[in-house]
Amino acid sequence: MNRLFILLLFLFISIVNTKAQKGAEVGAWMGSSFYFGDLNNLYRLTEPGLSSGLLFRYNVNSRLSPQCQINYSRLRANDANSSNLFDQNRNLSFYSDVFEITPAIAFNFIPYIHGNDDTNFSPYVVTGISLFYHDPKTKRLGHIEHLQSNGTEGQIVGQEYSRISGGWLLGLGTKVKINYRWSINVDLSSRITWTDYLDDVSTVYPNFSTLRTTRGNNAVLLSDPSLNLGGDIPANRSGTQRGDGNDKDIFMSFGISLVYYFGGLECPQISRFNE
C-alpha cells in the first residue's frame, strides 16, 4: 500500500512540475494486429493481420496527453495451424475486420518538449478503453459465412452475442523527434476485451438437431467442421467442449506512427554577450 502511495505521489509531482506546452498532434499509423483466444490459445504469432489508424492527441504539458485513435485491425486464426491435436481436430477458423475507437491518456516518462533539442525522445505508457465493432467470418466451400448470425453455439434467434463490444486498452511506446514539428511513434497496445466471441467460439457445441431446425444444416456444418482423425471423437458433440468460456479474448497491435504537432514551439535561448 505504501509503495502504491509513493508511486502515485511521484506521478503527481512529476505532472505538476512539468513545463506547460499545450498543443494538438495528429498522426497516421500502420502495423500488424494479433489475436489471442480460443482459436489461438498457444499465443502463436504466425497469423498477423493488417492494422492501421489515425491518432489525435492533445498535450496538456510535456508529460500528460489525452488522446484518441480510430483504428482498423484484421484478426484471424486457424486451428489447422495449431500444434495441439484437440485444436487440429476441432478444425475451426475465423477472420474478422475490427473497427475501433480508443479514448485514452498517455504519460511520458521523460518530459517531451517540441522545439527543445534536449528532449529528442521519450518512452510512454497509454491506458484507456477500446470500443469496437467486430463480425467474425469464415470461408466454407469458397463462400464467406457470417458466423454470428448462424448461432453456432446454439444462441436463440434474436439473442446472439453483440458485434459491438469493448475492452481495456494498455500500451507502451516511444516517441522520437524528427524535427520541431514531426515525430515518429512506435507503439505496442493490447486490448483485454469484454467478449469471448471475437472468434465466435466460447463454450460448448449446441444441440445439433435443434440448430438444424432453427438455422439450417449449414449452421451445423459451421458449428462443427471437426476432423475425426482417430475414430475416437464422437460423431455428435452436443454439449462437449468447443471453447473456454472462462477467459475473454485479447487482441494486440504493433505500429509505427508519423505525427505532426500543431502547438507552439519552445524557442531556443538567445546567448547574450557582455558589452
Residue 88 lies inside a defined structural domain of this protein: yes
**Which tens digits make up the pLDDT trace of 210-222?**
999 999 999 999 9
Q: Give the range of the structural domain holding residue 237, as residue numbers without chain letter.
A: 20-261
Residue whose C-alpha is closest to residue 257's, from 22, 23, 25: 25
Q: How confident is the model at residue 235 (pLDDT cuts 50, 70, 90)?
A: low
Q: CA-CA distances (angstroms) from residue 27 to 23, 69, 73, 211?
A: 14, 9, 17, 47
Global confidence as pTM: 0.85
With respect to residue 44, please indicate whether it lies within any of the assigned structural domains. Answer: yes
- Decide: 108 and 62 in contact? Cβ < 8 Å: yes
Q: Would you say residue 227 has pLDDT above 90?
A: no
CATH of residue 82's domain is 2.40.160.20
> What per-residue confidence (pLDDT) applies to 251?
98
Question: Quick check: is 67 in a domain?
Answer: yes
Which band of pLDDT confidence, cut at 50, 70 and 90, is reported for residue 256? Answer: very high
- How far is Cα 127 from Cα 146, in angstroms, rounded to an integer? 32
Lowest mean pLDDT, pick from 29-43, 141-155, 231-245: 231-245
Q: What local confidence, expressed as pLDDT, does residue 186 receive?
A: 98
Residue 217 resides in a domain: yes
Indicate whether 180 belongs to any domain: yes
Contact residues for 13 (Cβ-Cβ < 8 A; gap 6+): none
Assess if residue 225 is contained within a domain: yes
Q: Measuring CA to CA, which residue among 266, 255, 211 is closest to residue 54?
A: 255
Q: 266 lies in a domain?
A: no
Residue 183 lies in a domain: yes
Domain count of the fold of the chain: 1
Percentage of the chain lying above the pLDDT 90 cut: 76
Which pLDDT score is estimated for 125?
Answer: 97
